[in-house]
Amino acid sequence: MVIPLEHVIGLSAILFAIGTIGALTRRNLVVILMSIELMLNAVNLSFVAFARAWGDTLGHVFVLMVITVAAAEVAVGLGIVISLFRNRDSVNVEDVSLLRW
């Protein structure tokens, strides 16, 4: 492996952190979903790095699963966003807080 493993994992951590910040601070639902995608990608990077470190293709298989699930999640999530927009004319996450005390 040409790069030390720590550097790759470190990159994964930084990308995950950026994604978290985006999910927690942005108000646009679509941007939040995109941040979640970024988090998933960071995790994929981790998997690939460890697969390379141990020589086990399980990591790659898992990445395929993650991509599949991410795709499914994005499809349904964006469907929800569209329905929401149709009903409320807004994709602001603070406008969808009815389920509260």
Partner 1 sequence: MVTDSDWLRWIPLLPLASAAASGILLGLFRRPLGRGATVVLSCGSVLVSFLLSLLALWHLIALPVGKRLLVDRVAPWIGAGSFSAEISLALDPVSAIMILLVSGVGFLIHVYSIGYMDDDHREDKGFQRFFCYLNLFTFSMLTLVLADNLLLMFLGWEGVGLCSYLLIGFWFSDRWNAYCGAKAFIVNRIGDFGFLIGIFLLFTAIAGVLPAERANEAVVFRGIEAAFPLIAEKTVQLPHWLGFLPGAPEWKLATLIGLCFFVGAAGKSAQIPLYVWLPDAMAGPTPVSALIHAATMVTAGVYMVCRLSFLYDAAPGASAVIAWTGGITALLAATIALVQTDIKKVLAYSTVSQLGYMFLAAGCGGYTAAMFHLLTHGFFKALLFLGAGAVILALHHEQNIDKMGGLTRYIPWWRPTHLCFLVGVLAIVGTPPLSGFFSKDEVLLAAWTAERVPGHTWLWAMGVATAGLTAFYMFRLHFRVFFGESRIAASLRGHIQEATSTVTLPLVVLAVLATVAGFAGLPQVYGDMLGISSSNSLANFQAPVLAGASAHEVSHATELRLALVAVGFALAGALTACLLYLWRPGLPERLAASLSGPYRLLVDRYRVDELYDRAIVRPLVSFSESVLYRGIDAGLIDGVAVMGTARTVQRLAAQGLKYAQSGLTQSYLVLMLAGATLVVGYLLG
Partner 2 sequence: MSFAAAVFYVLALLAVVSALGMVLNVRNTIAGAMSLVVTMIALAGIYVVLDAHLVAVLQIMVYAGAILVLFLFVVMLLNLRSDEFSPSRSRLVKLAGVALGVWALGSFLALLPGALPKVVEIPADFGSYRQVGLSLYRTYDVAFEVTSFILLAAIVGAVVLAKRRLS
Q: Give yes or no for a contact between 38 and 19, defined as CB atoms under 8 angstroms apart.
A: yes
Residue 101 binding: pick among partner 1, partner 2, none (C-beta 5-8 Å cut-off by kind): partner 1
The correct pick among 51, 88, 97, 101 for binding partner 2 (CB under 8 A) is 51
Using left for φ > 0, alpha for ψ between -120 and 50, and beta otherwise, residue 89 falls in left
User: Contact 22/38 with Cβ under 8 angstroms?
Assistant: yes
Q: How many residues interact with partner 2 (rule CB under 8 A)?
A: 66
Cβ 57 to partner 1 shortest distance, Å: 26
Using an 8 Å Cβ cutoff, are 15 and 48 in contact?
Answer: no
Query: Whole-number minimum distance, CB 24 to partner 2, in Å?
Result: 8
Site residues for partner 1 per CB under 8 A: 20, 23-25, 32, 93-94, 96-101
